[in-house]
Amino acid sequence: MKACPQTMYSGARLSKDRLGSPCLVPDTSTGGNFFNSLSRLLPVAIALMVTAVALAFVVLPAGASIQDAAIANPEYRAFPVIGSRVAIWVVAQLHLMFAAFVLAVPMFAVIIEIIGMVTKDKRYDALAHEFTKLLSVSFSLTATLGALMVVMLVVLYPRLTEYMVSIFSWTFFPYILLFFLEAVFLYSYYYGWGKFSPKVHLTLGICLNIVGTAIMFIADAWLTFMNTPNGISETGALVSMADAVNNFIWMPINIHRMIANVAFGGSIAAAYGAYKYLGARTPEEKAHYDWMGYVGNFISISALLPLPFAGYWLGKEIYAYSQSLGITLMGGTFSWLFIIQAILIGNLFLAANYYLWLSMERIEGAERFRKFIKYLLASIAVTFLVWATPHSLVASIEEARQMGGSNHPMLGVLGVMSAKNTAVNILILTTYISFLLYRRGNKEPTVSWAKAGQNAQLAIFVGAISLVIFLGIYGYFVEARVRIALSVPQVLAVLFTMISVTIIDIYLFKGAKSRGEIKWGKMPDRAQYALFFITITFAWTMGLMGYVRAGMRQHWHVFGVMRDTSPDAFTPTLGFASNVISVTVLIFFLFIAVVFWLTGLPSKKDWEPKDARQSTSDEEVSA
Amino acid sequence: MNTGLKILLFVLAVLAFYSYVGNTVPQKITYPPETAELSGDMTTDELVEAGAQIVAGKGTCLGCHTVGSTVEASSLRFPDLGNIGGIAGTRIEGKSALEYLAESLYDPAKYIVEGFLPGMPVVSRPPIGLTDNEILAVMAYLQSLGGTATITLATTHSFTGQGASESSAAAPAVALGAGLDGQGVFDTYMCATCHNIDLPDRLVGPSLFDVGSRLTRGEIYEAVMDPDATIAEGYPGVVMATTLGASGFYQKVSPEEIRSLVNFLVEHTGN
C-alpha cells in the first residue's frame, strides 16, 4: 500500500535536496529580597498557567460537548480600540524581543566565562556575572508576555489556534518541560555564581543554552509552519508532524534567529553599559562600564556581520518553497520595506563604525590610523546610498515621463540586486577594516614576517574587493538565473577574507610591542548614545522583519491552507506598520528601563528610617 | 538635564525618525483578492477583460510575469507574456494553443520555457485557487496577447473540472467543519448511500461492517483521504473520490473530524 495522501507542495518538496584594563568587580550579592523571590516564582507560575492552557487545548477537543460548544464560537473576537491584529502584533513582538535577549545573554555569558577560565582573568568572570544579572527580571517578563500572547491567541483567534494545536499538539509538552528546565538552569546558573566549582557552573550555563535553544526551535516550528506549511494533506489535515516541524524555513529561521539574538542581546548589554557609564560617578566605574559597553557592542557587531548570509539562506528557502511567496516578499508589496531595511542596517553599520572610531581616541598610538577614517566613512556612505537606492522611484506622472519610466536613467541601475549585493559586501568589509584598525591601535608587530603578513592581508583584501566588484558588474551582462547565483561567490569571498585575515592578525600581533595603553573610561558621552542608537535600531529592525515575516502571507493565516477571513485580512501600509513598530519598541525600552532599574537595585544602600539616618549623620559630624 | 530623561528623548527622536522614513515611502494597502463574477452569457471580449483583471489581481500573475516588456528575455526571471497568444500553439509540437495554455496554468511544471527555471505555482490550487471559469477567463486574456481570443465559458479542455470549486475559492481552504463526531461525519456526507455499516452486504461500495478488522487505522485513513490509492477488488475506482470531491468533503471536513471518522470506522470490527 502506498504512503498516506500526498503532502501539499510535494513538487516543491522534491526540489529540496534534504528531506590592561581596569576592573570594577560588580556587586555579586544576589540578596534574598522581594524582587528575587518574585523573579523565582513568577516564571513557574506562568509556566503552570501555560501548561494548563496547552493541556486544555490537547484534551478538550476530544469531547463532543466541547465540539458542540465550538460550533457556537466565533472565528474571531475583536480587541477594543486598537483591534485584534495590532494587539497580538504588539504583544508577540514584545515577547520576541525579550525572548531574544533572554536566549542570547547566556550564550555570550558562557563564552565570556570560558575566556575568564582560560585566561584566569577575574574581570571576565565578573563581566559575565553582570550580564547574567539582567536575565533574572527579563526571564519573568518574557514568560509573562508569552502567557499573555497565548491567552490573546485563544481569545482573539480561536479558529487559527485550534488548527495550530491540531497540527502541533504534542510539541507543547516538551516545550513546557523545557521551560521548567530553563527556569532551573537559569536560576542555578545565576544564583550559583561562585557557589559551585567553575566546571559545574559552566556545565549549568551550557545546559541553559541547550535548553533555551531547544525552546526556540520548537516555537520556530509553529511560526515557520504558518509561512511554509508542510506535512499536511490538501485539506490541511496533519500527515506527518516531523515534516510539519521540519518545514522549508524552519532551520534557516533557527540559525538566523540564533545569530540575530546574539546581535540584539549584545546591543542591549552594551546599552546597559552605556546607561551605567552615563550615571557613573567615579573613574573606576566609568572605566568598567566603558569596557562593558565595548564588549557588548563587540559581541553585537560580530554577530551582525554574518547575519546577512543567514538571511540569504532564509530567502533562498522561501523561494524554494514558493516562487510567488518569495516574490511577494522581495518584490511588489514589500519591495519598499527592504529599502527601509537598508536604511536601518546601513545606520547600524554607520553607528558601529562611529563607535569604533571614537573608541580609538582612547588608545595611545591609534592616532596614526585616524587618516584612514575619512576613506572608511566615504566607503560606508557610498555603499549605504547604493543599498538604499530603490529600483523604481516615487515620481509624479510628469516626472516618470521625463525619466522614460519609473526607473531613473542613472540611479535605476543601482536599484538592482547586483549593485545591492556588491554594496552590502563592501560595507561588511569596511566595518571589518575599522575593527582591524581598532584592534591594532596600540600594537606594533614584532614577528620576523610582519611585513609579509601585512602584505598578505592587503592582497587578500584587494583580491576580495576586486572579485566582489567584478561579480557585481558581471551580473548586469548575464541571465537572471546566473546573476542570482553570483551572490554566493561574493559572500564566500567576504567570509574567506574575514576568517583568513583574522587568523593572520592573531599570529601577527602575538607578543606585539605596545605603543601605549587603552584609557578605559575616557569616552565622550556621544559614544554611549551611539550604543543606544544601535540598540534602538536593532529593535526596530526586528520589529520590521517580524512584520514582513507575517505580512508576506498576506491574507492567509497559514499560507495556502487557512485564509484570514477577519476584518484585518488586508495588508496595512508601511507607514502604519512603522508607527506600530515604533510604539512597540518604545514600550520595549520602557520595560528595559525597569529591567535596568531592578537589576541595579540590590547594589543600592539598605533603607534606613529617617531618624537613624539623621543620627548617623550627626555622629559623623561630631566625629 | 537628568540622564534618564535625555535617554528617553533620544529614544523618542530615533523612533520618530524611523516612523518618518516608514511614512515617506509609497503607501499601499493590499486587500485580499475577490472572486471574479463570471456568467455563462459573457462574450469572449468580456471574458478577456475579466481575465485581465484576474491576471493583475487574484491570479497574482504580474508579480512574476511581465506583459510586453522591452527588457531582454535573458534578463527576465519569468517569460514575458506580451506575445503568448501568438506563440502558444507553436510551443509544444502537436499541442493546440488552448491545450498549451491550459497545461501551463493547471500543470505549469510539465513544460518549462527554455532559459527559465520552474517555479510557477498551480493556479487552481491554494494560495491562488482559481476556478475553472476564472482560468478560462485568464486563458482568453492570454490568447488576446498577440493573438485572437476565441475562448468562452463553454470551452472545455483536458483539465476542465480540476479548478478550485466555487465554494472553496471564496471560503477558507481550511474550514474547521462543524465539529462533527465520527457518526456525524458518516451521516452528513451520506456515506451509507454507498457503504453498508450495519451488515456485511455490499452496496455500491464495500461494506464497512467489519472494516476495523480488515484494515489498519492508517489504511482506513488513506481510503478516506485518497480513495483511489488502493481499490478493493471488484469495485470501480474514481467513484468515491469524485463523489466526495463533488460534495466538498475535502474542503469542508476538519482534521479533527477526519480523525473522528477514522476512529468510528476502526470500531466496526464485525462483532
Q: Look at residues B116, B135, B170 and tell me which one is the last residue of a structural domain.
A: B170
Q: Helices A250-279 and A122-156: crossing angle, nearest 10°?
A: 120
For residue A334, the chain B residue with the least C-alpha distance is B28
Work out the pLDDT band at A10, boundaries 50, 70, 90: very low
In a domain, B13, yes or no: no
pLDDT of residue A100: 94
Indicate whether B20 belongs to any domain. Answer: no
Contact assignment for B32 to A234 by CB distance below 8 Å: no
B98 and B190 fall within a common domain: no
Q: Report the residue of B9, B14, B221, B244 to disrupt the A interface, i.e. the one with the largest count of A CBs within 10 Å.
A: B14
Classify residue B203: in a domain, yes or no. yes
Query: Residue A444 belongs to what H/E stretch?
Result: strand A443-444
Asked if A569 lies within 8 A of B32 by C-beta distance, the reply is: yes
Q: Among the listed ranges A50-64, B108-122, B164-178, which one has the minimum average pLDDT value? A: A50-64
Q: What pLDDT sits at residue B138? A: 96
- For B157-188, how does the pLDDT look when each residue is reduced to its tens digit (9 = 90+)? 999 988 887 655 444 455 445 567 888 888 87
Same structural domain for residues B143 and B195?
Answer: no
Q: Is the pTM of this model over 0.80?
A: no
Q: How confident is the model at residue A62 (pLDDT cuts 50, 70, 90)?
A: very low
Closest of B36, B68, B64, B63 to residue B49, by C-alpha? B36
Q: Count A/B contacts: CB-CB distance under 8 Å.
A: 191
Last residue of a domain, one of B126, B145, B170: B170
Site from B15, B114, B128 to mutate, A interface, most A CB atoms within 10 angstroms: B15
Res. A9: pLDDT tops 50: no
Chain B residues touching A336 at Cβ < 8 A: 25-26
CB atoms A163 and B219 under 8 Å = no
Q: Average the pLDDT over each of A3-7, A460-464, A602-606, B146-150 and give the range with the smallest value.
A: A3-7
Say yes or no: B129 and B149 in one domain.
yes
B196 and B124 in a common domain: no
Contact residues for A52 (Cβ-Cβ < 8 A; gap 6+):
none
DSSP state of A363: B
Q: Would you say B139 and B186 are in contact if contact means Cβ atoms under 8 Å apart?
A: no
| B58 and B162 both lie in a single domain | yes
Alpha carbon dihedral A554, A557, A559, A560, in 10-degree steps, equals -100
- Residues B109 and B157 occupy one common structural domain: yes
Report yes or no on B223 lying in a domain: yes
Task: Please state, in angstroms and rounded to a whole number, the distance separating the CA atoms of residues B78 and A214.
Answer: 40
What confidence score (pLDDT) does residue B58 get? 87
In this structure, the answer to whether residues B158 and B61 fall within a common structural domain is yes
**Contact, B261 vs B224, CB < 8 A?**
yes
Domain assignment present for B69: yes
Stretch among A56-65, A455-464, A546-555 having the lowest mean pLDDT = A56-65
Structural domain harbouring B102? 44-170
Do B48 and B108 lie in a common domain? yes
DSSP result, A379-404: HHHHHHHHHT--SS----HHHHHHHT
- Phi then psi for residue A79, to 5 deg, are -90, 135
In a domain, B176, yes or no: no
Helix (H) or strand (E) run with residue A563 in it: strand A562-563
Give backbone dihedrals phi and psi of A234, rounded to 5 degrees, phi first.
-65, -20
Q: What is the mean pLDDT of residues A14-34?
A: 36
Asked whether the beta carbons of residue A67 and residue B18 sit closer than 8 angstroms, the reply is: no
pLDDT in tens, A259-282: 999 999 999 999 999 999 999 989
Res. A12 pLDDT band, cuts 50 70 90: very low
C-alpha cell of residue A313: 539562506
Top residue of B112, B174, B240 to mutate, by most chain A CBs within 10 Å, is: B174
Query: In this predicted complex, what is the ipTM?
Result: 0.83
Last residue of a domain, one of B129, B149, B170: B170
**Is A248 within 8 Å of A228 (Cβ atoms)?**
yes
What does each C-alpha distance from A163 to A26, A159, A166, A235, A321 come to in angstroms? Answer: 49, 6, 5, 12, 21
DSSP line for A63-120 = SHHHHHHHHHS-S--PPTTTHHHHHHHHHHHHHHHHHHHHHHHHHHHHHHHHHHHHHT
The pLDDT value recorded for residue B244 is: 78
Residue B186 sits in the same domain as residue B162: no
Query: DSSP secondary structure string, B240-258?
Result: HHHHHHHHTHHHH--HHHH
Tell me the three state secondary structure of residue A571.
strand
CATH of the domain at B122: 1.10.760.10
> How many distinct structural domains can be found in chain B?
2
Which pLDDT value is given to residue A543? Answer: 96
Q: Which residues of A touch B121 (CB under 8 A)?
A: 322-324
Long-range contacts from A224-227, C-beta under 8 angstroms, 24+ separation: A224/A248, A224/A249, A224/A250, A224/A253, A225/A164, A225/A167, A225/A168, A225/A250, A225/A558, A226/A164, A226/A550, A226/A553, A226/A557, A226/A558, A226/A559, A227/A318, A227/A325, A227/A549, A227/A552, A227/A553, A227/A559
Residue B63 sits in the same domain as residue B156: yes
Confidence of residue B239 (pLDDT cuts 50, 70, 90): confident
A537 and B14 in contact by Cβ < 8 A? yes
Tens digits of residue pLDDT in B86-98: 999 998 988 999 9
Cell of A450: 610582519
What is the radius of gyration, based on Cα positions, of chain B?
A: 26
A25, pLDDT greater than 60: no
Contact call for residues A427 and A349 (beta carbons, < 8 A) = yes
- The helix (H) or strand (E) run that includes residue A411 is none
Looking at the fold, whether B63 and B166 belong to one and the same domain comes out as yes
Q: Are residues B48 and B155 in the same domain?
A: yes
Percent of chain A with pLDDT over 70: 82
